[in-house]
Amino acid sequence: MRIVTSVRGMQRLARRWRRGGPRVALVPTMGYLHAGHLSLVKLARRKAGRNGRVVVSIYVNPAQFGPGEDFARYPRDLARDKKHCRAAGVDVLFVPPDREMYPDSQNEAFSTFVVEHRLSRGLEGASRPAHFKGVTTVVAKLFNIILPDLAVFGAKDFQQAAVIQQMVRDLNIPVKITVAPIVREADGLALSSRNAYLSPAERRQAVVLRQAIQLAQKKVAASRRFLPASRLRGELIRFIQRQPAARVDYVEFFDPKNLEPVRQVARGVQMALAVFLGKTRLIDNARL
Ligand code: PAF
């Protein structure tokens, strides 16, 4: 496995691959890799084909964290990530330092951002106003640096995947986006690097996100007609907040195609939620 830290080095390699023709699959991450990331790598390997190349990028992107969020304490363990990537058969690990990705940010000379204006408004975008501007900008930069044919994102970040698909369509970026299913712990908690923040008591209670989704799915399956979103939301918030460490940020029901909120919930509606367990904010989602 080759480790590349400079943008120029990565671009040189990417251009060479372009001439030679192997399919290049990218898995963009912020590191602290877990089985969820490794499932993306596996899918990337399959999609790239036998002669293809799989690139994993690790970059904790400051631009997608708001003031007071967890950028400084976001978990990092490059030595462990390298081992995981080697074992998973990754061809190139791209790990740029900040000075490579945002060379002039100190003097504010970095001034071009990619902003998606429709799908990124609600849900995570409402709670974390500058988040998606940071995500789309860094993903567009990674696409320009690595020139992948395809990129794999996780379905846990449902809105992120939708925003990136929109960006790729709008800007005619020749990258095929694949969205891989959520990987869960045995008790149903979605894998996330942020699970590492949880105390043992918070970890036990964190399963409530999955349980809330299952409760909603059960109610929708049992009802013959539409369920008013406001009533279902209220029931789920009460259910979640029975856990002493839990505080709901949002529970939303929306159309999975355009992310527009719905007033009536029925089969096929997407549900997403964000819940604080102590200071740790976790997200999850599912089709009802
Ligand atoms: O999902 C993530 O880990 C990040 O948002 C991404 C896509 C790597 C961009 O920094």
Catalogue all structural domains in the chain, each as residue range(s) with its CATH number. Answer: 2-180 (3.40.50.620), 193-287 (3.30.1300.10)
| Among the listed residues 104, 97, 77, 91, the one whose alpha carbon sits nearest the alpha carbon of residue 6 | 97
Q: Which residue has the tokens 């898995």?
A: 27
Q: Is it the case that residue 205 has pLDDT exceeding 70?
A: yes
pLDDT of residue 113: 95
CA angle 177, 182, 188 (to 5 degrees): 175
240-288 confidence digits (pLDDT tens): 999 999 999 999 999 999 999 999 999 999 999 999 999 999 999 999 9
pLDDT of residue 109: 67
Q: Is it the case that residue 106 has pLDDT exceeding 70?
A: no
**Candidates 65, 160, 167: which one to mutate for ligand 1, based on the most atoms within 8 Å of Cβ?**
160
pLDDT of residue 256: 98
* pLDDT-derived band at 108, boundaries 50, 70, 90: low
Number of the ligand 1 atom closest to the C-alpha atom of 30: 3
b/e map 91-101, b = 16+ CB within 10 Å: bbbbbbeeebb
| Among the listed residues 142, 136, 144, the one whose alpha carbon sits nearest the alpha carbon of residue 120 | 136
pLDDT of residue 105: 63
| Cβ of 29 below 6 Å from ligand 1 | yes
The reply to whether 37 belongs to the active site is yes
| Cβ of 193 below 6 Å from ligand 1 | no
Number of the ligand 1 atom closest to the C-alpha atom of 61: 10
Q: Output the residue whose Cα is nearest ligand 1's atom 6.
A: 29
Q: Is it the case that residue 31 has pLDDT exceeding 80?
A: yes
Catalytic option among 34, 37, 84, 131: 37
157-194 confidence digits (pLDDT tens): 999 999 999 999 999 999 999 999 999 999 999 999 99
Q: What is the mean pLDDT of residues 3-20?
A: 95
| Cβ of 124 below 6 Å from ligand 1 | no
pTM score above 0.75: yes
